[in-house]
Amino acid sequence: MEEVSAKLCGVRLSAQKARLVVNLIRGKSVNRALEILKFTSKKAAKFINQTLKTVMYNAKNNKGMNIEKLIISAIWITDGKTFKRSLPRSKGRTDIIRNRTCHINIKVTELII
């Protein structure tokens, strides 16, 4: 059973927020996952949709798999770099602003009946 994967690195989004959307589509067929992402009103849905389409086209063009039979075998989010900025506050203090990033990893496999 062959697997095809795609990875999107450095998405300007926290991993915690992206995992909320990933949990909706884990284990579903690719077409069903695209429908779910289309009606999900989270910022992460746009990036996950983009990565899912990439892995679909990789499976079709590189491995010759049938898109209709693809299922998401594995999908996970990992933490990326955290950009740190400082914000001046009163009395000479500063607060740290953390701009978090994440990596989106998707693997699909062809369902054999």
Query: Which residue stretches of 14-94 are H helix?
Result: 15-25, 30-38, 43-63
Q: Say if residue 113's pLDDT is above 80.
A: no
Lowest mean pLDDT among 1-5, 18-22, 89-93: 1-5
Q: Say if residue 23's pLDDT is above 80.
A: yes
| CB neighbour list of residue 69: distance below 8 Å, 6 or more residues apart | 110, 111, 112, 113
Rounded distance between C-alpha atoms, residue 37 and residue 47, angstroms = 10
pLDDT score recorded for residue 27 = 92
Would you tell me which CATH number, out of the four given (1.10.760.10, 3.40.50.720, 3.90.470.10, 3.90.1150.10), belongs to the domain 3-110? 3.90.470.10
